[in-house]
Amino acid sequence: MTIRDTPEEWRVTATATPFTGNKTSVRTDDVVMPDGTVVRRDYQVHPGSVAVLALDGEGRVLVLRQYRHPVRHKLWEIPAGLLDVPGENPLHAAQRELYEEAHVKAEDWRVLTDVYTTPGGCDEAVRIFLARELSEAEGERYEVSEEEADMELARVPLESLVRGVLAGELHNNCLVVGVLSLTAALRGDGLDALRAADAEWPARPFSA
């Protein structure tokens, strides 16, 4: 038996958008269940995101600490951001986020993993990239504002991050998934076996 997720779409008899925000919205669908009953489902409609696990030559991961108001925490995270333009190439978006948040560029890019962050209440899809062969970006640093103006940057050994995840000390979704996926890849077929940076992404189709 092959264990893999498969696309499927149950019939929707009615839909509405009771809230539209700056980047996301809330949709209400009336969905027909397998037994014929109709139930209402509310969920956040999200443009999608990218995240970057940037690994340097010393086995350290580039992380940043940022205030997240909904959970009232400063969280250690990996660079990440929204797919601001419909159909945007996710690799280009990831390269932009690494530059803007860390002023770093990378020569080697792979797809580490793809995830739905909270599929019971949001359609957000995230592609997490692995970036290697890091160096400082040229030119002026990107001017940050709001929460990003208070960010801290650090490079932390992968093993320390894994310990923090398993100890319940690190909670950011992309960081947790990223460091555990990287650890599994290192112990499995190796990083060269990861998908190419331009691998197909059905959750958020893009042009080259």
Token pair belonging to 140:
């002026």
What is the CA angle 163-167-173, rounded to 5?
85
Give how far Cα 180 sits from Cα of 113, 164, 173, Å: 10, 11, 11
Torsional sign, CA 148, 152, 158, 164: negative
Among 7, 193, 4, CA closest to 111: 193
* Euclidean distance between CA atoms 119 and 92, whole angstroms: 25
φ, ψ of residue 19 to 5 degrees: the values are -145, 135
Q: Is 148 a catalytic residue?
A: yes
Among 124, 135, 133, 67, CA closest to 99: 135
Annotated active-site residue in 101, 107, 148, 200: 148
Residue 167's identity, in one-letter code, is A
Q: H-type helices in 167-208, by residue range? A: 173-187
Residue 1 CA neighbour count, 13 Å, CB half: 2
What residues are annotated to the active site? Answer: 148
